[in-house]
Structure 1
């Protein structure tokens, strides 16, 4: 009896819960690599849907229940609701997993349908008298062995596994089985799998005719759906879908209409326990594909989400909670303040003394800024935007600058369009790779390359052979040279298209239902474009020469006015309002996001050195610190204004792509540093540097800062809530990582003379770090479950074990583990917590960057090709962190809070 009690005590402990959590997290992480290397089904069989993984989930839940009872957790309402919510969510997930099902229904316009096919494949066995079916999911790894035994006419029918061949996504797989009936045995080949409904394979055994199929099962709904109309809307002048919808009528068993309903993305139909989601459509746009979901676990799961959110919010106010205890500690500690003024980062343009560039810079400045910049352009995705935006995008792509030779982006593009031959001789395309410069016979100090320098005297492309070899190499085997060469070649192609005028569509085609806009060359040849507009095009380009050479812009300005009037006349439905156009021009001119890089880094490093000076001299500079806090506040205000401006201009929340989300993470880190932890200068230092890092990374060459139209599924308020909360959590978790790093640095600097002083600072950093991680984990968990609601309302499932979803789940486990380490004395200390907060952030980096570039899945960019190699800088950073950790170990003795 005593042994049983000891087992129960150990099972219902924080140690056991953490062990089980670690198994779940490691299993999920491994599964993402299995999925990337093989397929989703294999990962599900081995891990996600495996009995052992479900058993660990159940055991962790039972352990948690025991822990709740053992610690009387209901006395701390916030913690109790958080942990209770996971139990409720697991119950809902179990109901969905074992009692719900999903399917697909395809309907053509003017027809009705009641048959759906399941997403799970079945092995279907049929004779003249009876039939049997077994769910049968196979993977590329592990044992697929199965054996199904039935007795027919007194004889055993046995079907066993022989072999399985996966053909690739979207193709039928091959399944070979042994079929034994009586004394006869045969090998049969079945083609099919999930999503396939195949003709049966017929075989005769001792007078028994047997039909076998392997694929999705056809099921009848208790009612029918009729498709009256399918409508696909596209962005203006583009083939990209803006939205698509199905006008449905629900029919009873006698085909009488019960009601009509319109289904579109994020607007499903709920009826008779079923939910129908808009999934896809036929290429001829005459049919629709709907996903069907029957989910008895929906409301228990939603109840769990509600309890989770309520619990995390309550935790910030529950008397005796860890959060309030740490806040109380910080109020009693003498903290330092922040520093310095900020400086805006500017880049010196290289001078060029040619007469042409001087004329262009002086004569075209007013025309480019006041007239040309507001001319509307339709880009390749159908977005209508000012010429200023298109010019900035192109110039930044070519030069990595926003201006060059004392010319604005608008002036550069104006010059390239007006006199392409001259601009082909002007160094314009940025090149850093020394090997490519050798191939072009350029001096190693030359930074910019002209278009003409990449061609020899016969007009042959000097890099043709090298670029062909680079493109033929698998991405995993490309080095720095190959990657730089491909990027440089892309820049040259953009320059060529700019010279040809292909990128500038500013002539709306009159009365076109798709709102197509034309380039000047296409417009001059199109029969529907009036003579007046064709003359205005010709007049404008001839007027450019007068303007550039003699600063006489009357002719060009009048022609431009005519073209703008044509835009308003024939594209009023799609062009932005004048206020939005002016806002976008202001956004371009201010370029606040780029300037904030210098602001945050200047403030961060100045704060760090001032903090060290204050720490070792035991002096404070109150008045200076107050001025510096005001400067940091102004920087955050600039950041907030820029985010709001981008939101207004783009028409959607500014966290819908990689660039926007990184900028938003930078804002959340700065916000956390100023509003939550402003009384600690070291914390503000960490917040400022982390914000600067995010702003710097967001403006690197692999990130596209362009504003783009949203795909239909992203037009959801649930998505906005999900992304805003979860990306804001990254700011708090990243801040925690830098605070942990500062703690390790202070531990490494400890001596006998400064030990007491540094220990107090480390404890302060530790308290702020834990608060930051508590807030970050709360937002991360809530944001993920908001994502579950979005996914369920968009396409009928909360969770699909997509790599990005899985790594978010792994990150929640990682930070739950870190914050619960204090309950296990053998592994807990200020040193281990600081170390874990630093290395734990790698799970966020994997979620945000690793999944996008190294794994395949719905959120991934690696699905279209092979994964790029891991930069050497990553290994160097890991080495530095490991070395710092080893040095800091000697100063690890710090009293915990």
Structure 2
């Protein structure tokens, strides 16, 4: 009885901690980072809560005699080592900043916690500072401080930049900011003599024990792989859906198509990189009209015609206005507006409307949340329309199109790379795939459900065998088609496509299709599950268009840690998504015991690599953060929600201490509800809470 009480208390503390972490992210959004740092993350009661959980974990390891299960003991022990390293950082570490000015020697830094001056055991001075730009653009690729430091009477020179730190006698300096005139540089300072080493040791132990858990013949994962239900096989589907855009030319002067085609491969500076003129023109037309072409005209024809015939094109209703209220404000009779509709003589109507809306937002702030939200929404729509008008005005002034400089300072792209980018835009890979995957996924789901209820017999088996190869072939074609487009984007951009939300969604969809191809022989339900999930993922990427342009990475993302960190996280998200959909299927076929058991087994097996990939991905991100920002854990909302997700799914392993997880129905409901934490981590943080990781949006 006493032992059961201890266990219940520990579980309650565990759940309470997850709740506190979740609430803290919303409090930070409402009251600011300083508030939650002072009252929650750096508070004694918060540290005490972690300490109580650590004590309970040590006690549980002893009671369960985990020394007989060394991989499990190592895994839990690594978590304790990581917590111990975090506590050492909290107790012995110091954080601060130092301002370097050229020609001045600095021997101290300002501690962040109390703004007190702390002495350094050496001298530091700034020789020069420079911003490195992508060739021919104004987009920074790196920030570099050329510094000198004096140790034991000798001066040494070093370069501090993004993802490249300076470490001297335990003090670590990171590039933080700089003076606008480049005369000075701000460096973050981190002194953590014990915590980093202990925490990194915990990370290594976690990675080692994770692989040990997956490979040990005595552990649960290996026993699940040897389950008799794996010997059964399955099948299912796919195909491709055609689409066509039909348009008619309008009676307005345009550049001849053959003349416009000559502009397609011209190279320009666009989005801070070298790109073909076709990419600039295509984005211009999409931004204005919402489609990659305009009434049968090519993007090159549209842009060139705006330049050649501005008097005619300013009357062309090309600006898409989605908001009905905004159309009413402007007196528009259709969904599209012309440039002249935005002017009243020489008065710019949007400027006057925007000023009125900003006053309305201030006035409705105290009236009610709904009125304020509606005013803000309309204000955002006015700004979007203003951006479209600004692009046209920039085009007419000659500032929108930037040709390559003639001095040879920018290396032009090869003709092959130009043709590859034009081909990438010509084939709507994402649109084709999301339409095909969703359509065929629904058909496959119906086929799988029908095959479950179909009576066993020679006729049924022949029917399944006849269709099996058609579905498998279609899934492989979809996977090949998707990864061809992904690798093509990689080749065009010159980097792995994981730098923004749009690209991570593409990677997630590709991994889901790859998993479907690999495991479809054992599990027929994976075919509809993989197709539907990849289809919905691609639909989100297509509709939201988070950041579809192929742009250079911001300096902090120019790190070898990027692909490893993001890949592991997205792999875990894909596995969690598969588990969620399989759980939905399992709850929907309660009468078919054999199929439900296979779904349960599949989810329990996937739980291991999903949680382990998430955990390793989180801690690789922590190492990257330490290299880039000077701290391996900053309680950023994205970090906190990733930790919540890791802790939440980790509960499902403890079927002995939490018997409810032995119940298949409870287990599947848990997986469905827990997936909301994934959605919050990926979408909620980017679009609601913000933080350092919101650049991915």
Q: Distance in 2 between matches of 1:746 and 1:487?
A: 47
Trace 1:768-807 onto structure 2 (pairs within 5 A): 768-807=602-641
Match of 2:202 in 1: 304
Q: Distance in 2 between matches of 1:775 and 1:653?
A: 23
Q: Distance in 1 between matches of 2:297 and 2:231?
A: 53
SS of corresponding position for 2:99: strand
Q: Distance in 1 between matches of 2:568 and 2:143?
A: 28
Offset at 1:717? 0.8
Q: Distance in 2 between matches of 1:19 and 1:272?
A: 43
In 2, are the aligned partners of 1:92 and 1:297 still within 8 Å (CA)? Answer: yes
In 1, are the aligned partners of 2:237 and 2:527 still within 8 Å (CA)? Answer: no
SS of corresponding position for 1:652: coil
In 2, are the aligned partners of 1:854 and 1:862 still within 8 Å (CA)? Answer: no
Match of 2:422 in 1: 585
Q: Do the aligned partners of residues 633 and 74 (structure 1) sit closer, same or farther apart at CA in structure 2, a change above 3 Å counting?
A: farther
Match of 1:376 in 2: 267
Equivalent of 2:339 in 440, 443, 451: 451
SS of corresponding position for 1:403: coil
Q: Do the aligned partners of residues 398 and 766 (structure 1) sit closer, same or farther apart at CA in structure 2, a change above 3 Å counting?
A: farther
Equivalent of 1:844 in 678, 684, 689: 678
Please state if 1:342 is matched with 2:240.
yes
In 2, are the aligned partners of 1:330 and 1:764 still within 8 Å (CA)? Answer: no
Q: Distance in 1 between matches of 2:205 and 2:136?
A: 46
Please state if 1:605 is matched with 2:439.
no
SS of corresponding position for 2:249: coil
Trace 1:139-150 onto structure 2 (pairs within 5 A): none
Equivalent of 1:420 in 305, 310, 313: 310
What number of residue pairs does the alignment pair up? 680
Equivalent of 1:62 in 55, 60, 67: 55
Trace 1:90-129 onto structure 2 (pairs within 5 A): 90-121=83-114
Trace 1:683-722 onto structure 2 (pairs within 5 A): 683-701=526-544, 703-722=546-565
SS of corresponding position for 1:770: helix
Please state if 1:575 is matched with 2:465.
no
Equivalent of 1:271 in 168, 176, 179: 168
Offset at 1:28? 0.8
Cα-to-partner distance string for 1:786-815 (whole Å, 9 max, x where unaligned): 011001112221101111111111111121
In 2, are the aligned partners of 1:686 and 1:738 still within 8 Å (CA)? Answer: yes
Please state if 1:641 is matched with 2:641.
no
Please state if 1:478 is matched with 2:312.
no
Offset at 1:412? 2.5
Q: Do the aligned partners of residues 118 and 616 (structure 1) sit closer, same or farther apart at CA in structure 2, a change above 3 Å counting?
A: same
Match of 1:675 in 2: 518
Match of 1:557 in 2: none
In 1, are the aligned partners of 2:238 and 2:437 still within 8 Å (CA)? Answer: no
Match of 1:218 in 2: 117
Please state if 1:314 is matched with 2:148.
no
Match of 2:11 in 1: 18
TM-score, normalised with respect to structure 2: 0.90
Q: Distance in 2 between matches of 1:391 and 1:798?
A: 42
Cα-to-partner distance string for 1:591-624 (whole Å, 9 max, x where unaligned): 3223221122123112111112212224342232
Cα-to-partner distance string for 1:305-358 (whole Å, 9 max, x where unaligned): 1111122222222214333333333754534312132224x342332364856x
Trace 1:526-565 onto structure 2 (pairs within 5 A): none
Offset at 1:10? 4.4
More strand per residue: 1 or 2? 1
Cα-to-partner distance string for 1:634-678 (whole Å, 9 max, x where unaligned): 211222222222222222221111211222222222222322455
Q: Could you tell me which runs of 5 or more consecutive residues in structure 2 were left unpaired when the two chains were aligned.
A: none
Q: Do the aligned partners of residues 491 and 71 (structure 1) sit closer, same or farther apart at CA in structure 2, a change above 3 Å counting?
A: same
Match of 2:584 in 1: 741
TM-score, normalised with respect to structure 1: 0.71
Trace 1:652-671 onto structure 2 (pairs within 5 A): 652-671=495-514
In 1, are the aligned partners of 2:497 and 2:503 still within 8 Å (CA)? Answer: yes
Q: Distance in 1 between matches of 2:489 and 2:178?
A: 33
Offset at 1:82? 2.0
Cα-to-partner distance string for 1:485-508 (whole Å, 9 max, x where unaligned): 543443344344445543211152
Q: Could you tell me which runs of 5 or more consecutive residues in structure 1 were left unpaired when the two chains were aligned.
A: 1-5, 122-215, 509-565, 748-754, 864-897
In 1, are the aligned partners of 2:278 and 2:300 still within 8 Å (CA)? Answer: yes
Q: Distance in 2 between matches of 1:862 and 1:725?
A: 16
Q: Distance in 2 between matches of 1:674 and 1:819?
A: 27
More helix per residue: 1 or 2? 2
In 1, are the aligned partners of 2:135 and 2:409 still within 8 Å (CA)? Answer: no
Q: Distance in 1 between matches of 2:56 and 2:506?
A: 40
SS of corresponding position for 2:117: strand
Match of 2:289 in 1: 399
Q: Do the aligned partners of residues 347 and 459 (structure 1) sit closer, same or farther apart at CA in structure 2, a change above 3 Å counting?
A: farther
Offset at 1:92? 1.3
Comparing 69-78 and 733-742, the one that deviates more:
69-78
Q: Do the aligned partners of residues 434 and 44 (structure 1) sit closer, same or farther apart at CA in structure 2, a change above 3 Å counting?
A: closer
Equivalent of 1:831 in 660, 665, 668: 665
Cα-to-partner distance string for 1:44-85 (whole Å, 9 max, x where unaligned): 232212222212212222222222233333444443332121
Q: Do the aligned partners of residues 432 and 262 (structure 1) sit closer, same or farther apart at CA in structure 2, a change above 3 Å counting?
A: closer
Match of 1:766 in 2: 600
Match of 1:327 in 2: 225
Offset at 1:588? 1.9
Q: What is the alpha-carbon root mean square deviation over aligned residues?
A: 2.8
Please state if 1:246 is matched with 2:239.
no
Cα-to-partner distance string for 1:253-308 (whole Å, 9 max, x where unaligned): 6xx32432222111112222222222222222122222222221222211111111
Q: Do the aligned partners of residues 862 and 236 (structure 1) sit closer, same or farther apart at CA in structure 2, a change above 3 Å counting?
A: closer
SS of corresponding position for 2:96: strand
Offset at 1:98? 0.7
SS of corresponding position for 2:567: helix
